[in-house]
Chains A and B, each alone.
Chain A
Amino acid sequence: MPLALVNDQEFVALDDLAGAFQLTVREESLGAVTVSYKGKTIVLTPDQALASVGGRLVSLPAPPSRNGRRWLVPVEFISRALSLVYDAKLELRKPSHLLIVGDMRVPRVTVRYDALGAAGRLTLDATPRAPATVTQENEHLTIKFDADALDVPAAPLPSPPSTGLILGVRNVDATTMAVDLGPRFAGFRAANQPVDATMRLVIDLVAAQTDAPATAPPSPDPPQPTPPPDLPPSFGQTASAFRTIAIDPGHGGDDEGVKIPEGAKEKDLTLAIARRFKGAIEARLGLRVLLTRDDDRSVPVDERTSVANNNKADLFVSLHVNGSMRPATQGASVYIAAFDRDAAQAAANHGERVPTFGGGSREIELVPWDLAQTRHLDQSSAFADMLEAALRGHVPLAAKPVDRAPLRVLESANMPAILVEMGYLTNPEQAKTIPSDAFQNAVVQALFEAVVKYRDTWSPGGTH
């Protein structure tokens, strides 16, 4: 189904929808456009980003647009308006340009490869959950998902590793993927693990030159991503309920972040460091870690904080790399959110009395989504200070290492939240060092130390 892009908004022609879904489209004398399906009618009005569906108004991201004789509507028309009158379930997945009609199980599958010394690990996340079975057939592993189809990129693993363990990952048919094995492959072990709405398939790969048996790694504990070099030996578990950290790798997809003529991209660096940070936290602290993105894709800002808020994360850390008009500028900075006085007051005044079961009423606290962070600024500031102290021992710091700014991604976080700029890609020296293992391990080490210190002083009420 062709899609037209108008001012960054994706539109679909009503004619095409009419053909696919047996709709009747009619232009009325007053300029309105009616879309009918089995006696149910949707009314669209030019210049209005609204649709009337059986008298109910639903918003659209843009008004209908005319292209010659054809009417174009935002693709969200399908999920917001057409789905209300259509017989079957309609699910629009904009990022993958997939329209699912009917009750199908089509999990979105992302694939990641982590090198673990001589060994390696493939992680396939299927959302919503779809378990998979893995079998070895000659020179490839076949992964069969229990689903009707897969929502997976054409190149599931864009940059296969060069270690010789695997040569690549490809799609075989609607529900099957294959891993092409390299000359160093000696064996594998696979396990499905549910993680929230996701089913995670972990395939540990064993290299031929190791002493491990050819069928499975000997240790019951799967290898972990390379930790920073000098992590503290052990921190154990505390009695507190500090359980979950949300890590937000900045930018992604079309949004590459800082624009420099050549060299590493901010979006790739933030993801690489986020994965190292996640590995360190999971391996050493046993905390639950959420990544707001685990691949190279564009994630709307509100979706990033939604991941943290909906999973009740105890800490939100957004990772970025900075850019300055002055090439000499360098060093790491930690930001916490800033609100003007009116916004802070608005957040404080949002109490409302609601009726209670059995009569009477009680006061509940309502905080606007955009101002959720106002309640956590003290704790955010405390963590920012801890992180500054930790970074000071590992990487260069900016002239003012902790600052407040009206940063969009922090404002809606309903937990202590900071944004760390790890260095400047516009500084020629830092542009060389930031992509290095040494620098990234140093940043992760500092983040790790700050999390440990914060966790050890954390209490459920948010006081220190």
Chain B
Amino acid sequence: MARRAAIAGTITAILFLAVLVFLAKRGPASARPSTPVAATGASPAAPPLPGRKIKARLFYVADDGGRLTSIERDVAYGEGVEAQAREIIAAQIAQAAEPLVSAIPRGTTLRAVFITKSGDAYVDLSREAKNAHPGGTINELLTVYTIVNALTANLPAVTAVQLLVDGKEVDTLAGHVDLRRPLAKNLTWVQ
């Protein structure tokens, strides 16, 4: 048999440090911050009044491990829906004091929040939300609905929430829950 004109080459992988630049695909451009905003930072346009607080429902893993439980907490006041959303998420992802157990992976920080006119909120979390996720369908559902419910239960202007990681849309955090579109409030995951 005549030898076929062909090449087979093996590619080996090497790594180098990359700089990540991202623009989210959805949401009005005017609503997006030009640079990520730290979790504890307030909106540059509307700094919160010092000491002013609101009451907000925050969500933690219930004793049975299969649902969330909600508690009312004081959260810093933010002027406007986006600023308030940032304060709520910052409080929600802060390390929980015992006996509370957070469903948010340790080390996760908030990069940005922006909200469309139709009420979809985009919450951009740091890469730890995915990389440090412990896995398991229940863990992932509780992580996702902690964030979704924290905004939809406290801010009537927010009707659905989509999670982004490190500025990008992601399919899932740990292989189970579909994050390709905004998710509506779902209190069936709350006791």
Contact = CB atoms under 8 A, between A and B. Distances in A.
A98 B8 contact: yes
Contacts of B177: 405-408
B137 A7 contact: no
A343 B184 CA distance: 12
Contact of B15 (A4, A88, A103, A324): A4
B184 A340 contact: yes
Contacts, number: 160
A371 B6 CA distance: 42
B9 A266 contact: no
A325 B134 contact: yes
Contacts of B65: 324-326, 328-329, 424
A406 B10 contact: no
Interface string A299-330: 00100000000000000000011111110110
A324 B136 contact: yes
Contacts of A2: 11-12, 14
B64 interface: yes
Q: Could you tell me the dominant secondary structure of chain A's interface residues?
A: mixed
B64 A326 contact: yes
Interface of B is mostly: loop
A20 B134 contact: no
Given A5-B14, A255-B175, A325 B139 contact: yes
A102 B6 contact: yes
Q: Report which residue of A103, A301, A325 has the largest number of chain B beta carbons within 10 angstroms of its beta carbon.
A: A325
Interface string B25-68: 00000000000000000000000000000000000010111100
A149 interface: yes
A75 interface: yes
B178 A406 contact: yes
Given A3-B12, A10-B13, A97-B12, A324 B139 contact: yes
Given A325-B101, A408-B171, A102 B10 contact: no
B103 interface: yes
A285 interface: no
Given A20-B9, A100-B6, A102-B7, A411 B178 contact: yes
Given A322-B137, A370-B180, A421-B138, A398 B7 contact: no
A326 B136 CA distance: 12
Contacts of A65: 18
B139 A100 contact: no
B163 to A, nearest CB: 12
Interface string A243-283: 00000001100011111000000100000000000000000
Q: How large is the interface on B (under 10, 10 to 19, 20 to 34, 35 or more residues)?
A: 35 or more
Contact of A329 (B64, B135, B171, B172): B64
27 contacts: A20-B9, A65-B18, A75-B11, A88-B6, A98-B8, A98-B9, A98-B11, A99-B7, A101-B6, A102-B5, A148-B6, A255-B175, A301-B171, A324-B65, A324-B66, A324-B136, A325-B101, A399-B66, A405-B176, A407-B176, A408-B176, A408-B177, A408-B180, A409-B176, A411-B178, A421-B138, A426-B134
Interface of A: 1-7, 10, 12, 20, 65, 67, 75, 88, 97-104, 106, 148-149, 250-251, 255-259, 266, 301, 320-326, 328-329, 333, 335, 340, 343, 370, 398-400, 405-409, 411, 419, 421, 424-426
Interface of B: 4-16, 18, 20, 61, 63-66, 101-103, 133-139, 141-142, 171-172, 175-178, 180-181, 183-184
